[in-house]
Structure 1
Amino acid sequence: MTMTKKHLDSARRTLELEILALQEQLGQLDHQFDQACDLLLGLTGRVIVTGMGKSGHIGNKIAATLASTGTPAFFMHPGEASHGDLGMVTRQDAVLALSNSGETQEVTSLLPLLKRLGIPIISITGAPYSTLAREATLHLNASISREACPLNLAPTSSTTATLALGDALAIALLEARGFGPDDFALSHPGGSLGRRLLLRVADIMHQDQQVPRVLPQASLREALLEITRTGLGFTCVTNEQNQLLGVFTDGDLRRVLDLSLDLHQTRVDQVMTPEGKRVYPEQLAAEAVHVMEENKISALPVVNQQQQLVGALNMHDLLKAGVI
């Protein structure tokens, strides 16, 4: 067996065992998952996630996923909890405790104080008869047949199963809360995700003198000069009340030239695309991208509710703003 083949066989075996672990979770979901969701939905405080070692790394990710999907949460290291960090926990909170064995000393040592404070505990373990599973208010079973590690020692399949259960919990809560894109955007204001979710057409559109426009009686030559002036690849055609009647684009110009029409004598309203696609200032910039892609166009007029022209934008503006 070649070295490459050996590596690929190992990778496939690992993935197959982790897929098996996830399939096992489907059969282990029960009423306690429902009860855990109800408990967390009724919280007035936060979800405090805790776990040691590899479970701690998984716990950090679960806490981050909960927090970003509408369930206030943070991670508390169980080793530090006994040295002052338990002061972060209030009686309005709930604890999500992770331990594959269910016997991790740093985690089980927190149980007496948490119970004394009356704080509900949801445990995720791979051992349903362990101390942590028995003493928790609710237990989610993350047991697996075997680890992907050939020694059956290194946490691999078990951490995958725990992470997936945490994701399942977060998404069930998200759906129950009716958490939508606008809510998601508020917790993701930075980076490209925030730009896609928060940026409105009004934030990036060209305005005032930067908006190309001509009256319907304008000649093709005048329309061409207006396209050239703004460099947006099109001009809008409006009436005296500034209402959008249509658009004349670079593509329309090429078709006109093929017909050998007189640039001085032909009126723009005779060759424009009537009506045309348009967007509104309050729409998400991501929606404008969708309109452009769906209709294979690279620019759009922006109108108000009275269909009056108030702006224009093209694909370059959206690229520059980081929306695409």
Structure 2
Amino acid sequence: MANETAFTSDDALASAHRTLQTELAELQHLDARLDERFSQAVAMLLACTGRVAVTGIGKSGHIARKISATFASTGSPSYFVHAAEAAHGDLGMITGDDIIIAISYSGSSPEMATILPIARRLGSKIIGICGNRYSELASLSDIFLDVGVTREACPLNLAPTSSTTVTLALGDALAIACLEARGFGKSDFARSHPGGALGRRLLTHVRDVMRQGDELPIVGPDTPMQKVLEEMTGKRMGMTVIADQTRKPLGIFTDGDLRRLIMQRGDIRPITAGQVMTPHPRTISPEALAAEAAAVMEQQKLSTMLVVNQEQTLVGALHMHDLMDAKVI
């Protein structure tokens, strides 16, 4: 084994560049040889009435699992089947309505040779992905996609590196083509990722995070300042809404307004809410996305925003902290 101390920082960088350049060249070769078979594979996937079963073993199995996950998160229901486990019972997961994407770089995996003929008898269509067009896997496939590489990035040309990168990229290309054909959008993606940041931004509406009912600080325009302060203190939103008897907002009075009022007037006891409110407060619909409210509040430097329905009746209020607690921002 080579002396590791002789491997310098420059050597490490040179190795990384060789690896990346080798894999990039193989990706470019794949891009250049894509043909009608790729389009046929996409058409087959789009016509699938079942699910996309992706199978492989060894390094190809790891790639197959990732490709299946990409399909599942981009609008094509999919699951991974380990080729060896399929030969020992898991083949029962596959139905005749499913399409199988079978991955084996050599194309001579004995596990594939065992399970694919049975799957064909079930009625499953097979998309074979391998590096040998004359292999058994290619002959068992309805559509064969070639991921052959001229060289692995491994300097020994042994460890699957370029070949796994090319296979993964081809799987991504299939999944994204299906995504685009289906018109799969951000909201669809969010529904399959509800726990992620994008899911929260695209699935959380104002109505989900707004304060409402008894939590809302509301006073009438004739309310004396002492009562206004009691309402603001009790509801802890840093403001109160001034509304008429039909709950239509007339204005808003904030902690900042209170400080400025005290500095200007001193004795504020004779003043009523309607005299010092800020009229025409910014409002938003409860059906709007919370992310939309956050963008407006950040742009206009608002700490709170009122929520009104189609009749312009007050139904809630948002505080910036509410959006932060919901992890929308």
* TM range, smaller chain: 0.7 to 0.9
Q: 1:34 aligned to 2:39?
A: yes
Q: Percent identity?
A: 53
The alpha-carbon deviation at position 238 of structure 1 amounts to 2.1
The alpha-carbon deviation at position 30 of structure 1 amounts to 2.1
Partner of 2:129: 124
Distance 1:42 1:158 in 2: 28
Q: 1:77 aligned to 2:82?
A: yes
Q: Secondary structure of the equivalent of 2:102?
A: strand
| Residue pairs, 1:23-172, within 5 angstroms | 23-172=28-177
- Tell whether the 8 Å contact from 2:96 to 2:119 is kept in structure 1 after alignment: no
> Compared with structure 1, are the counterparts of its residues 178 and 146 closer, same or farther at alpha carbon in structure 2 (3 Å cutoff)?
same
- Tell whether the 8 Å contact from 1:237 to 1:248 is kept in structure 2 after alignment: yes
Is 172-181 or 78-87 further displaced after alignment? Answer: 172-181
Partner of 2:14: 9
The alpha-carbon deviation at position 225 of structure 1 amounts to 4.6
Distance 1:27 1:252 in 2: 66
- C-alpha root-mean-square deviation of aligned residues, in Å? 2.8
Distance 1:248 1:109 in 2: 75
The alpha-carbon deviation at position 207 of structure 1 amounts to 1.3
Distance 2:274 2:24 in 1: 62
TM-score (norm 2): 0.85
Structure 1 counterpart of 2:243, which letter? Answer: T
Aligned length in residues: 324
The alpha-carbon deviation at position 193 of structure 1 amounts to 5.1
TM-score (norm 1): 0.86
Unaligned runs of 5+ in 2: 1-5
Identify the match of residue 23 of structure 2 among 3, 8, 18. 18
> Compared with structure 1, are the counterparts of its residues 24 and 228 closer, same or farther at alpha carbon in structure 2 (3 Å cutoff)?
farther
Partner of 2:3: none
> Compared with structure 1, are the counterparts of its residues 303 and 134 closer, same or farther at alpha carbon in structure 2 (3 Å cutoff)?
same
Structure 1 counterpart of 2:175, which letter? Answer: A
Structure 1 counterpart of 2:22, which letter? Answer: L
The alpha-carbon deviation at position 292 of structure 1 amounts to 2.4
The alpha-carbon deviation at position 50 of structure 1 amounts to 0.4
- Tell whether the 8 Å contact from 1:238 to 1:244 is kept in structure 2 after alignment: yes
- Tell whether the 8 Å contact from 2:304 to 2:318 is kept in structure 1 after alignment: yes
Distance 1:256 1:11 in 2: 65
- Tell whether the 8 Å contact from 2:117 to 2:140 is kept in structure 1 after alignment: no
Q: 1:321 aligned to 2:317?
A: no
Q: 1:248 aligned to 2:250?
A: no
